[in-house]
């Protein structure tokens, strides 16, 4: 009987020992899990910060690119306006010359026609 009680108490002690070991293992696993979760959260925060920094850098580069494009477009617009003004000026001068030539031509034709008529009248009177 003593052997039975000894065996029973040994089995209880063994079960308690394994229970304590399992409990400490479970506690270790919980602590490791908490540490892993904290590490994952920190990694997530770091990734968010890095992503935000990268987006900020990309936005800044895009803003600089857009600024340079705007400057180029402004320069092209100014040169286009200068070219347009020069073309309009030349067209106006050419039109003024053509008008002047036309009026001189009409004046000369009328004068010569008048001279011709005068000569013809003079010849008829002779």
Task: Give the model's pLDDT for residue 54.
Answer: 95
Which of 46, 45, 48 is closest to 56 using CA atoms? 48
Weakly modelled stretches of the chain, pLDDT under 50: none
Task: Give the model's pLDDT for residue 55.
Answer: 94
Q: How far apart are CA 50 and CA 71, in angstroms?
A: 31
Task: Give the model's pLDDT for residue 4.
Answer: 59
Which phi and psi angles does 32 have, rounded to 5°?
-65, -40
Task: Give the model's pLDDT for residue 13.
Answer: 63
């Amino acid at each position: 009987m003593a052997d039975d009680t000894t065996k029973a108490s040994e089995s209880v002690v063994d079960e308690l020992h394994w229970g304590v070991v399992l409990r400490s293992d479970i506690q270790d696993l919980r602590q490791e899990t908490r540490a892993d979760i904290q590490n994952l959260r920190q990694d997530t925060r770091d990734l968010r910060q890095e992503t935000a920094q990268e987006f900020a850098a990309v936005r800044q580069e895009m803003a600089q690119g857009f600024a340079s494009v705007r400057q180029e477009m402004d320069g092209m617009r100014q040169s286009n306006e200068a070219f347009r003004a020069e073309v309009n000026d030349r067209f106006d001068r050419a039109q003024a010359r053509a008008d002047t030539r036309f009026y001189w031509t009409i004046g000369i034709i009328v004068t010569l026609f008048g001279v011709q008529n005068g000569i013809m009248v003079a010849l008829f009177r002779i």
